[in-house]
Chains A and B, each alone.
Chain A
């Protein structure tokens, strides 16, 4: 009975818990956030299992059939992304109790968890919905709450970072709204399945091409694709540690999912790539993102900012996989969505431990940390190895698939660049390792290891990095099914 309502319940429960959080004191609010995240994780796991066994699920909200009501449609791609978002959200919320207590003023915790749950609701809603306008609404729910979350950072630059993100994010979301409006103009529907069915008949119009352009640019802003990434480094650098981990691991990933959904399901691969030639734009931008952002990352002195630039580079890998538009490329993108969330989640949580003990993530503060915080730094190194793409970690799987996909199209210079960029990742990860393990700690002050409640979620993600680097049956196989579905080949 209740199983039939899982697609909507997993979005609605966090949504209802969010205002309830505001009424609570700090600790009950945390419990509610934990409850909401764990519930969405349970739902996502059940949904993925159901989708893999029985095929896509359709859910009509309020019993209104799709062309009139809002439909949720869960297929392999979004079930996978739902699982990813809820796994990260749960790990981060467990971590959040101690970290938030040290970084955010007492009395504001309930507001923090409320915004956290709203952000989660938005991200899950974007992923689950099958309605283009509903997607915009959820996008704004997640964006508005993430602006608020970022502004809670203790540095005053968090405020300006949040404002900058607000301006750029709103422009991006409005572009998406324009795109949705223009496609509604031509097709008279907002339902993604209907859109997909009707767009081919009107695809040869300027309006439709403009809709495509607005949607792509708007979503790219949310993804932080290279020239549109300016909001990201500061937002990640000055947000509270917990928020950085959540946003870095989920928000841009969900935006990549939205791009996949629009390019492949709504517009169709032939329109996106054969008619509109999106790859001509997307390939150079992705390659520029990979090269330039990795280079810039090397010269950052704030380690959080360094990883933020690395995120911009990693997003380049994902869009590169999309622009290859073959099954292997899409598989690489979807696998990298998951894997990058695991590695950046682990890395930012490790940085959160450093922040908790030391109160700064400036690179000079890492001197001697390898001895003083062995577990935290070991987690950082493991995450860093995964980021580089060392075998036995998830990073290797993603890069391997991406290189295979590039070679499949005969683009060997691209494959060379992917490997070269991994060397740049070695450089910026090494800078931290060098400080932590080969420099003496400053002064006499001994700084202890982070508490267990912070280390456990961090190490859970590190363990996932290794586990999914060895056993790819959940990631690569499911991503392969999802990629074939997106390209219309059926599972």
Chain B
């Protein structure tokens, strides 16, 4: 019961591992970035889950509501999402330039080209 009740956290862990696996196991740079995004998203979910309070309503002041969810993690995650977007943008820009320089986005092939040079 308790294990199922924490299903948010199970999803976080699964997503985190999926993302992490993609980053480590794939040699295609784009897939690495996608993996990184999934990895970061799992953390966003973790923070949002922290903010939820049982029976709490949305954090907007209203008469007759006593318990509110904690809005702070939401704000933090808004910032973290912006950071994530910036990281992705930079990573994609780098991939474009790597493709221009090496004519490939595969890590193994890049490595081979570097060894030859």
Question: Of A163, A171, A173, A178, which is within 8 A of B46 by CB?
Answer: A178
| Interface 1/0 per residue, A136-174 and B, CB below 8 Å | 110010001001100100001101101100110011011
Using Cβ atoms and an 8 Å threshold, which residues of chain A touch B46? 178, 181
Q: How far is the CB of A217 from chain B (nearest CB, A)?
A: 12
Q: A208 to nearest B CB, angstroms? A: 14
Judging by beta carbons under 8 Å apart, are B43 and A181 in contact? yes
Q: Contact at A171–B110, with CB atoms within 8 Å?
A: no
Q: Max chain A CB contacts within 10 Å: which of B20, B80, B94, B101? A: B94
A: interface residue count bin? 20 to 34
CA distance A395 to B80 in the complex (A): 40
Residue of A nearest to B33 (CB): A167
CB of B91 within 8 A of CB of A133, answer: no
Q: A177 within 8 Å of B by Cβ?
A: yes
Query: Is residue B58 within 8 Å, beta carbon to beta carbon, of the partner chain?
Result: no
Are the CB atoms of A163 and B43 closer together than 8 Å? Answer: no
Contact of B47 among A162, A171, A181 (CB under 8 A): A181
- B83 CB-CB contact with A under 8 Å: yes
Q: Is A184 at the interface (CB under 8 A from chain B)?
A: yes
A147→B90 contact, CB < 8 A = yes
Binding site for A on B (CB under 8 A): 20, 23, 29, 32, 36, 39-40, 43, 46-47, 50, 73, 76, 79-80, 83, 86-87, 90-91, 94-95, 97-98, 101-102, 110, 114
Q: A159-B101, A160-B110, A163-B29 are in contact. List 15 more A-B contacts (CB 8 A).
A: A137-B79, A140-B87, A144-B83, A144-B86, A147-B94, A159-B94, A162-B94, A163-B98, A166-B94, A167-B23, A171-B36, A181-B46, A181-B47, A181-B76, A190-B76
> Could you jot down 27 A-B contacts, CB within 8 Å?
A136-B80, A137-B83, A140-B86, A144-B83, A144-B86, A147-B90, A148-B90, A156-B101, A159-B94, A159-B98, A160-B110, A163-B94, A163-B95, A166-B91, A167-B23, A167-B36, A167-B91, A170-B36, A171-B36, A171-B39, A173-B83, A174-B43, A178-B46, A181-B47, A181-B76, A184-B50, A184-B73
Residue numbers of A with Cβ under 8 A of B are: 133, 136-137, 140, 144, 147-148, 151, 156-157, 159-160, 162-163, 166-167, 170-171, 173-174, 177-178, 181, 184-185, 190
